[in-house]
Amino acid sequence: MKTARATAHSNIALCKYWGKRVDAPAELNLPATGSLSLTLDALWTETVVGPAGADRFELDGVTHVDDAARKVFAHLDRMWRAAGRDGARPHAHVRSTNHLPTAAGLASSASGFAALTMAAAAAFGAELDRTRLAALARMGSGSAARSIWGGFVRLDRGNRPDGEDCVARALLPADHWDVRLVVVQTTAGKKPIGSTAGMERSRTTSPYYDAWVDGAPQDLDRAEAALAARDLPTLGAIVEHSCFKMHACMLASSPPFTYWNGTTVEVMRAVWASRAAGLDGFVTIDAGPHVKVLCTAQTAATWVQQLGVLPGVVAVQTCAPGPDAAAEVIA
Ligand code: DP6
């Protein structure tokens, strides 16, 4: 085994993944809905995987001995098998650094598992194409499959029980469209429920879950067409519809849950009010309290100004389309 370093950028789902298929082995982590994303230049993870006397996972300088570490080591086992290597996996030291503004609940599992997948493949000498790397990243965390590519990415749900048709693919490169994602951080509390458990509660108790899953293919196809045409109002309407159908599904679960706080709602309303006054920008929110606004490069600074002064907003950051994940052997 060698020492390899990888970088992977986070992504935002413009059409969301929420829910897992139950007609296939859980280990494959197959999504119930396809998703479409934008890879982000300013949010990324750097991971180094190298040989060690014992398994060790260090994140931002802190060694973890928790579930997060167990998931990382299980992913290394998966990557070792995928590399076709015989025998027991050698012990490894995994060192990750999150270049995300703060530990404020901005998705790090997408860039984290994508970087781990790339670094482990390089360290283990695995010769795998990006499609296969994305499938492996997905088994660590669904959204990570999309972070293998830069630009605009689609992850198809597929139907096969072996998951072979659940494929992530680059739709269009980062320079296709100079859009921005303005990330508005609201005060972070502890997540009420992790995304995997939240998806499961939605699936098993929300009366809106089936409607959510059924509507996803149409959202995806329309979003893909609007993206190709660089049609922001059409894409934005689909982005908001996908987001709020997902959050309605959570709210209608039993017991109900939401990732929003009061500021989340105020930011959302401020975006809608400014849009009614003529400024183009569209809201999306993930399994956390932060609000992200999809807009053009020309309007991003105005959004930052307007939203940054709202009570409860702790930081605002602007992201542009980001690059592919990459890896290199360093020793
Ligand atoms: C709301 O990829 O974190 O961000 O596969 O269980 O690890 P697991 O889930 P994860 O879920 C992401 C959910 C989302 C929407 C999205 O990114 O598509």
Average pLDDT for 70-92: 96
From the CA of 86, how far away is ligand 1's center (Å)? 32
One-letter amino acid of 101: P
Number of Cβ atoms within 10 Å of the Cβ of 190: 5
Please indicate whether residue 109, judged by its CB atom, sits closer than 6 Å to ligand 1. yes
Distance CA 305, CA 270 (A): 12
Distance CA 159, CA 79 (A): 24
Q: Residue range 242-252: average pLDDT?
A: 98
Q: How far apart are CA 14 and CA 236, in angstroms?
A: 9
- Kindly state the average pLDDT of the residues 95-107: 75
DSSP-based three-state secondary structure for 189 = coil
Cα of 277 from ligand 1 centre, angstroms? 33
Query: pLDDT digit string (tens) for 256-290?
Result: 999 999 999 999 999 999 999 999 999 999 999 99
Would you list the DSSP string of 271-284? HHHHHHTT---EEE
294 CB contacts (<8 Å, ≥6 apart)? Answer: 14, 38, 179, 180, 181, 232, 235, 236, 239, 281, 282, 284
> Does ligand 1 have an atom closer than 6 angstroms to the CB of 261?
no
Give the closest residue (by CA) to ligand 1 atom 1. 286
Q: How many helices (H) and strands (E) does the chain have?
A: 8, 12
**Per-residue pLDDT for 76 more than 50?**
yes
Q: How far is the CA of 331 from the centre of ligand 1 (A)?
A: 33
Q: What angle do CA 90, 96, 97 make, to 5 degrees?
A: 165
- Helix axis angle for 195-205 and 209-228, nearest 10°, is 120
For ligand 1, say whether the CB of 29 is within 6 Å of any of its atoms.
Answer: yes
| Pocket residue to mutate for ligand 1, from 29, 152, 195, most atoms within 8 A of Cβ | 195
Percent of the chain past pLDDT 70, that is, above it, reads: 98
Q: What is the DSSP string of 72-138?
A: HHHHHHHHHHHTT--SSPPPEEEEEEEESSSSSS---HHHHHHHHHHHHHHHTT----HHHHHHHHH
Question: Tokens 């929003």 label which residue?
Answer: 260
**Which residue ranges form the domains of the chain, and what is each CATH number?**
4-174 (3.30.230.10), 179-319 (3.30.70.890)
The closest residue, in CA terms, to atom 14 on ligand 1 is 286
Distances (CA, A) of 136 to 39, 113, 247, 272: 18, 9, 28, 38
pLDDT of residue 103: 47
- As a whole number, the mean pLDDT across the chain is 96
Cβ(111) to ligand 1 under 6 A?
no
CA distance 214 to 100: 34
Q: Is the pLDDT of residue 304 over 60?
A: yes
Tokens of 69: 């570490």
Dist. CA 8 → ligand 1 center (Å) = 16
- 141, 21 contact by CB (below 8 A): no
Q: Which alpha helices (DSSP H) does the chain contain, by range?
A: 67-82, 109-123, 130-140, 195-205, 209-228, 232-251, 262-276, 300-308
Is the C-beta atom of 195 inside 6 A of ligand 1?
yes
Q: Mapping DSSP to helix (H, G, I), strand (E, B) and coil, where does residue 142 land?
A: helix
Give distance in angstroms: CA of 179 to centre of ligand 1: 22
Q: How far apart are the first and last CA of the chain?
A: 10
Residue 287 Cβ inside 6 Å of ligand 1? The answer reads yes
CA–centroid distance, residue 190 to ligand 1 (Å) = 17
Determine the pLDDT at residue 122. 98
Q: Which of 40, 143, 290 to mutate to test the pocket of ligand 1 (most atoms within 8 A of CB)?
A: 143
Query: Rounded to whole angstroms, how far apart are CA atoms 177 and 227?
Result: 8
* CB-count exposure of residue 16 (10 Å: 0-12, 13-18, 19+): buried
179-224 pLDDT per residue, tens:
999 999 998 767 889 999 999 999 999 999 999 999 999 999 999 9
State the Cα–Cα distance between residues 53 and 59, nearest whole angstrom: 18
pTM over 0.85: yes
pLDDT tens track for 9-63: 999 999 999 999 999 999 999 999 999 999 999 999 999 999 999 999 999 999 9
Q: CB of 202 closer than 6 A to ligand 1?
A: no
